[in-house]
Structure 1
């Protein structure tokens, strides 16, 4: 392991991350808040450590290999999540423990959206802005991860675009150089965020709320500046804007890149994953709307508005809530939405979950096995968009699925061991592993009352889900550390 290559990279990441304290400093100045000192301390401490890690190894030019890349990726979230907790740890009211500060920071950076805070609207504006900004930075990190790191793992996600699968992107990189890819993605990410903020502002939000919520909408994070989330605004127009941009952020950013480059929307309608994504959301949305109306929960118009909003919010793992928490909805709806979050959005998006393309492939493989029972000597080929899928990709998808479920079960049992009841343990681990945020039971409104041990388990689950399982688990294998 070339630690002399890893340390300066971490140093550079910390130096870059230290600048995340500058916008909250500006917000604190605008609103004349005393929290400005918190962000100055955070900026200086993060910058100093970053320089200390980078400076001694600044002349080393060795190339980063795949193994070091996995370690840097995992350390990216662990180290930045730790330093991201400093403002939460330093603020006086509410006073947070190390566990709570780390939980809030990790939830933000992994775009999970689970929070231990209550009375959010009473927090200083600078702290609120910082929370939203954490998710925005984490969301961009996921896009770069999907393009640069995940294809190396071969776990049935982005590598599909290197096969003959129809779609605009046939390789793991959108442009010939990964640096150019990162620039293109940053441009798209910033553009979509600005468009979302403008739409929120035109829909009725004030400028601060519009910018703050655009951060967490495009990042599919779900943090809000109010306890009641989107329900605070009670606006059909704002709900509509949120639905549109959550859907946009839940689609593969490679498609956005291609649509922008070719100035055409046809690629969206040709992509099989997007078709399945919208079809599944349509079916789940229809079931939800009809159930809400037939159970007299809302009127027809409100059933459509709130039902569709919550389906998109949960399925894309954003985690916004509307008029009331979906945990209070009748019958099977809360559980159905939680299972939908396991699917998540498209590969290469900021959404969590297993990703639509993997779910579709698993379903197709299941159907193939049923046909084999009837015709045992026939040869059936799995196809996506009319093109055959490599058996290696199918095996990788099943391996990912099995590992995902195994980790869910193990972490679920670990939460039960901390004393949580069945509903709380099941919903919180599902929420955090899928990077969703909202939960049921004791954590329906806040994770604050959970035991510290449960919070650390859930923070690990957030990281595990955000890094697509294998990126983190590979670090725990003896083979990884052998030279």
Structure 2
């Protein structure tokens, strides 16, 4: 393990992250808020710390091994969450504890959207903008951004890209060079963000709200500048725009690139994962609207308006809300939470296990049933017309097993802190799937939960963002052997 190189890279990434304090400083200056000093301190602390890590090892150059990539990825997300908590910890009102500040920071960076804050409408705009920006930076992953720069510094970036990129297939590149791949992804990400912000603004949001909500929409984060989330605007046009961009952001960004590059919208429907993703959303939306109408919760158009929005928001693990879905008939909140386990497509900004894994698990279960009927026959798993390597199928089952095991362990741990069954189950599901909203005591926010529960849930967010194995591998003795 090349410790000097690891510290050098960590220093570079912290120096890069220090610039995240500059836009909130500009917002504070524009609105005449005293928080400008708060972000100045954060900028200097993060910059100096990054330089302390970087300068002693500035000449250390070695090609990274996969083991180094795993450690850098986990270290950076953990360290980033610590430094990201500084502005939240230093602000005067509301006064947050270390636990709450870290929880809010890692929730933003992992695009979970779970919050401990109340009375958000009255908070300084610089802080509100900073929360939204955290989600935007975490959406595609700062490490993916950094690999576009690291090769120019003499450090190969492919190992970092593989460990950070979500999904079961990690070796697929859009362009021959990893730096170009990272740049391409960020151009797509930036383009969608700008388009989303413009659409929100044209639909009636202020420029501040439009930019802020475009950050959390494209990042599939769910933070808002208002306590009532998107529901604060009470605007069907804004809700429609949010649905569209949540749908788009839940699709593999590689698919967006290919469709744009080939100028063919039909390419989306040729991908089995995208078809499964859209079919899931349409099916759950129909069920939700039907149940709402059957129980006379809303009238016809209102049932479609609120039902479809909540389905897309929860299924894509965004977490925006236009109504309190926790008071719907019990069947619906549970259905929506179960849908979030699938989440979006691999290679998107969505959380959850990813639709492609759910498809592979279903197809492998179907193959086992066929083998019971025809023991001597050979059946292959196919996605579309392409057979899937058994190693990939085995890896998916391994991921699913680890996911279920860790979910149960953290669920029991939350119960041990004194939480009720509903709160514990929904909170673990929400944080592990990077969703945000929960039920029970956490239906409004996570403020009332014990500190121990918040640290467990912070770990769950990191597990979900790094898709379990990237973090879990650090806890194996084999990883640390020479």
TM range (shorter): over 0.9
Alignment match of 2:168 (pick from 123, 136, 157): 157
Please give the alpha-carbon distance, in whole angstroms, between the structure 1 residues aligned to 2:177 and 2:301: 49
Q: Which residue of 1 aligns with 2:21?
A: 21
Aligned to 2:425: 426
For residues 297 and 365 of structure 2, the distance between their equivalents in structure 1, rounded to whole angstroms, comes to 36
Measured at CA, do residues 152 and 117 of structure 1 come closer, stay the same or move farther in structure 2, by a change above 3 Å?
closer
Structure 1 residue 260: Cα displacement: 2.4
Tell me which residue corresponds to 1:312.
312
Partner of 1:217, secondary structure, is: helix
| CA–CA separation in structure 2 for the residues paired with 1:392 and 1:252 | 22
For 1:202 and 1:148, how far apart are their aligned partners in 2? 42
Q: 2:406 maps to what in 1?
A: 407
In structure 1, how many angstroms separate the alpha carbons of the residues matched to 2:348 and 2:109?
A: 15
Aligned partners of 2:271 and 2:253: how far apart in 1? 12
- From the superposition, tell whether residues 26 and 152 of structure 1 become closer, same or farther in structure 2 (CA, over 3 Å): closer
**Is residue 166–residue 466 contact of structure 2 (8 Å, CA) maintained in 1?**
no
User: Match for residue 328 of structure 1?
Assistant: 327
User: Could you say which residue in structure 2 is the equivalent of 1:253?
Assistant: 253
Q: Is the 8 A contact 1:352 1:436 kept in 2?
A: yes
Are the structure 2 counterparts of residues 234 and 458 from structure 1 closer, same or farther at C-alpha, using a change threshold of 3 Å? same
CA distance in 2, matches of 1:380, 1:39: 59
Query: TM-score normalized by structure 2?
Result: 0.95
Deviation at 1:128, TM superposition (A): 0.1
**CA offsets per residue over residues 66-123 of structure 1, 9 Å max, x none?**
1100001101110000000000000000000000000000000000000000110100
Change (3 A) 1:469 1:29: same
Give the Cα–Cα distance (whole angstroms) in 2 for the partners of residues 156 and 377 of structure 1.
32
1:93 aligns with 2:104: no
Match of 1:112 in 2: 112
Aligned-pair Cα RMSD in Å: 1.6
**Alignment match, 2:50:** 50
Q: Deviations over 1:270-329 (max 9, x none)?
A: 11100000001111010001101111111110111111111110010000001x221111
Counterpart Cα distance in 2 of 1:477 and 1:194: 42
Matching residue of 2:244: 244
Q: 1:313 to 1:153 in 2, by over 3 A?
A: closer
Shift of 1:352: 0.4
Compute the displacement of 1:155 (Å). Answer: 9.6
Q: 3-state SS of the aligned residue for 1:321?
A: coil
Query: How much has 1:266 moved relative to structure 2?
Result: 2.5
Structure 1: how far apart are the matches of 2:263 and 2:203? Answer: 27
Q: Could you tell me how far apart the structure 2 residues matched to 1:155 and 1:221 are? A: 16
Aligned equivalents of 1:18, 1:262: Cα separation in 2: 38
**What's the offset of the Cα at 1:369?**
1.2
Q: Distance in 1 between matches of 2:192 and 2:167?
A: 27
Tell me how far apart the structure 2 counterparts of residues 348 and 153 of structure 1 sit (CA, whole Å): 10
* Residues 155 and 397, structure 1, Cα contact 8 Å, conserved in 2: no
Rounded to whole Å, the distance in 2 between the matches of 1:289 and 1:348 is: 29
In the alignment, what sits opposite 2:79? 79
Partner of 1:163: none
1:482 counterpart residue number: 481
Query: What do residues 395-453 of structure 1 show as CA deviations (whole Å, max 9, x unaligned)?
Result: 01000000000000000011111111111000000000000000000000010000000
CA distance in 2: counterparts of 1:143 and 1:56, whole angstroms: 22
For residues 460 and 449 of structure 1, the distance between their equivalents in structure 2, rounded to whole angstroms, comes to 18
Instruction: Classify 1:149/1:14 alpha carbon distance in 2 versus 1 (closer, same or farther; 3 Å).
Output: closer
CA contact (8 A) 1:143 1:185 kept: no
Q: Is the 8 A contact 1:143 1:348 kept in 2?
A: no
Q: 2:448 aligns to what?
A: 449
Give the superposition deviation at 1:156.
Answer: 6.6
Residues 64, 159 of structure 2: 8 Å contact kept: no
Compare 140-149 and 335-344 and name the one that shifted more.
140-149
Say if 1:449 and 1:25 are closer, same or farther in 2 by CA, change over 3 A.
same
Whether the aligned pair in 2 keeps the contact of 1:143 and 1:349 (CA below 8 Å) is no
Structure 1: unaligned runs, 5 residues or longer: 160-170
Distance 1:393 1:418, change over 3 A: same
Alignment of 1:296-375 (within 5 A): 296-322=296-322, 324-375=323-374
Q: CA deviation at 1:254?
A: 0.3
Provide the residue aligned with 1:121 in structure 2: 121
CA separation of 1:465 and 1:15: change in aligned 2, threshold 3 A:
same
Aligned-partner Cα distance in 1 for 2:346–2:131: 25
Q: Distance in 1 between matches of 2:443 and 2:166?
A: 33
Asked whether the 8 Å contact 1:200–1:238 carries over to 2, the reply is: yes
Query: 2: distance between equivalents of 1:143 and 1:360?
Result: 28
Give 1:266-285 correspondences, 5 Å limit. 266-285=266-285
| 1:184-237 deviation line (CA, Å, top 9, x unaligned) | 111111110000000111111111000000000000000000111010011110
Helix, strand or coil at the partner of 1:282: helix
Contact 2:112 2:461 in 1 (8 A): yes
